[in-house]
Amino acid sequence: MLMQIKTGQLLRATENTGCLNCSANHTCLTKDMSTEEVSHFSKIIDYQKIIKKGHQLYHAGSKFDHIHIVKYGILKSSITNTNGQEHLVGFHTPGNCMGTDGISAKSHITDSKAIIDSVVCAIPFSKIIQLISCSNKLKNNFIIKLSDEISRANQNILMISKMNADERLIYFIKNILINQILGKKTQASITIPMTRNEIGQWIGVSQETISRSFASLTKLGFLEVNGKKLELTNISEFI
């Protein structure tokens, strides 16, 4: 079950323990790198930062100079249109890279906020580029991370255009709650960290429609929901 991170855990997360001992290193840019390569990577981390729930990591228009890697917690990225409407474009969990939207224009086009108390590692983009020149594994991992972002964006477009509301909610549970947050470890009981509004923004339906879809899937025997507690009564539908 996903738990809120306590203050003590947040403080321990920012201790300089190095990438080798980090719980997110199996999904980070250091995945499958040698001990020597990971040691070099650890040295280019500029700082680690606690982002409290609801606080921003960066905002649209701010200068881009760092890639941020989520160490603990969950953050979201969103774009606000000229009418002030927020469109949620992604959730970010441990090991995910954030800030790549700013590489081209040298400034961010999205806003980023913490959904729960979180910790990120900030790495100067210029130092990543320098290290890539002498580490093929880092280069491959970085390219894969960028490719994964594009793939997720394309899958989300397909979801919006082809799926009904119930199918979109199943897609959210399977791909965000199970695959991304739980690391593909299917379990019957899940705590949903997002609000109904945030889920609706991501799958492109209203908050009221989300509530109706939860009720519909409950009636079908797929799940039961009580506030933020989600029980998957038919796990096979989400594998």
pLDDT at 146: 93
Tell me which of 62 and 153 has the higher pLDDT: 62
Tell me which of 165 and 181 has the higher pLDDT: 165
Tell me which of 188 and 135 has the higher pLDDT: 135
Start-end of CATH 1.10.10.10 domains in the chain:
164-238
Give the span between the Cα atoms of 58 and 228, in whole angstroms: 27
- pLDDT exceeds cutoff 60 at 51: yes
Q: CA dist 42 to 30, 39, 121, Å?
A: 9, 5, 10
Domain at 7-159: CATH architecture:
Sandwich (2.60)
- pLDDT exceeds cutoff 70 at 62: yes
pLDDT at 3: 42
Q: Which range, 29-38, 147-156, 172-181, is most confident? A: 29-38
Domain at 164-238: CATH architecture:
Orthogonal Bundle (1.10)
pLDDT band at 133 (very low <50, low <70, confident <90, very high): very high
Average pLDDT, the chain: 88
pLDDT at 161: 85
- pLDDT exceeds cutoff 70 at 6: no
Start-end of CATH 2.60.120.10 domains in the chain:
7-159
pLDDT band at 4 (very low <50, low <70, confident <90, very high): very low
